Structure 1
Amino acid sequence: MFDDFFLRALVAGIGLAFVTGPLGCLVVWRRMAYFGDTMAHSALLGVALSLLFDLNVMIGVFLVAAVIALSLLLLQRRGALSTDALLGILSHSTLSLGLVLLAFMPFVRVDLIGFLFGDILAVSTTDLASVWVGGVLVLAAIVALWRPLLAGTVSPDLAEAEGLQPERARMLFMFLMAFVIAIAMKIVGILLITSLLIIPAATARRLAGSPEVMAVLSALLGAAAVMAGLFGSLRFDTPSGPSIVVAALALFLLSLLPFRREDRRPQGVRS
């Protein structure tokens, strides 16, 4: 009924949504949306360095994003600038460095639009395996780190007192973000990754009554946005990646309708 490339895109997008849903909840709870943008923007520098040194693009993007995460932690400890100022510097400088570096490599043909906005319809069987295998690993890590991450979100001092090592959990969480950005870049692109992390989680926040329910609901809403976006893209001949984000936005707007008397938030998580 559907071509193979469309089915691969559908399966890859759903697999990615199952990962970005729970991860996005942690991003929303920790108010780290700008951090997600910074990590995503650094992906272009990872692409440029990968092409320059003939590395696998996914590995290059992960390494650069991980270095940016560590740099942010070190700069925060120095306390010279506020976190949002540091994120602004890292975000725009890495994106600009990537573009400048690509301009110095005229011998390399780069589909810049594809990297920025993704091309989920070009997902190969290898990409599909990377998304699902990597997704399973990320979900297993989230389950293992769930308690220290959640406790560190509510009260870092209390989590430290209970021996949950919230700083270590935070650093591992940043590495998970870097890994997800590396596997998601080809599907939704550098500029749209944060949208898939934030919008389904923000939608689930209005509907869920506990952190665990919110994480599951966010994954399901992300999968629904992927399906609606891809079928909408097929029907109206629109770009697939942006169509997925628009579908996620539509679900969020629906959640704002006054059909509930009160806005439920996950218990134990600060607004």
Structure 2
Amino acid sequence: MVKKGLFAGGALVLLLSLMFGRDGFSYATTSLGWVRQSVSDSVPVAFELQRARDMIKGLAPEIRSNISLVAKEEVEVHKLREQLVTSEKNLAKSKGEIDRLSSDLKRGESFVYCGKSYTARQVESDLTQRFETYKVKAATIEKLNQIISARERGLSAGREKLKAMQAAKTQLEVDVANLEARMEMVRVAQTTSEFNFDDSKLSRTKELVKNIGTKIDVAEKLVNADTTYPGQINLDEPASSNITEQISKYFESTDDSVAVKLE
């Protein structure tokens, strides 16, 4: 689908160029941008997320390659350091030998080394050769130091770049995971909003219960209205709460009843 969209965009550019001449290029550029944006907007988010995951996975080989380069450079720099240590030891030894020959030559004594005698000219010639060699070695060591320093700086920069790439890859993984979580929440919300519950029965039931309550309220008010009217004078004497009076009235009424029967 994407290829078809791009092909249609290219055809549109050609057609507008033919129709409008020089101005057609402006129309074509705007139209092509619009087509590209339309194609990009039509790509599903899930597809884009999968594409992002694949691109993040594609970073792994490059990171492994950089790890290998850093490790190789670390080995090379280590070898150079070992070479520097050996060269400095040899240079120190050469200096000691030069100092010895120079001292012997200044004293002008007999020159015997390892049981073999040498003339002053031979010692001087050997000393001159040793001194020239020493200077070459010293210059070589200085250059070696510079090389090691430069490669150590490059190695340090490579390590930092590697750390940055690894951190960026991890952050991208986190970002994509967050985007997936947000997309899942959107799906859940969309799914929930698509539910159309039929709550007509529930609404009717609620209305019925409400009406029943209203009718009961009206009935209670009517009962109260039949019993007592506002402002009506109550002519009934309240019952006495005195127990002795109640007993006297009771037996009086009882005695009167008995007397009537006897007559």
Larger helix fraction of residues: 2
TM (norm. structure 2) is 0.23
Higher normalized contact order (CA 8 Å, seq sep 6+, divided by chain length): 1
Greater Rg by CA:
2
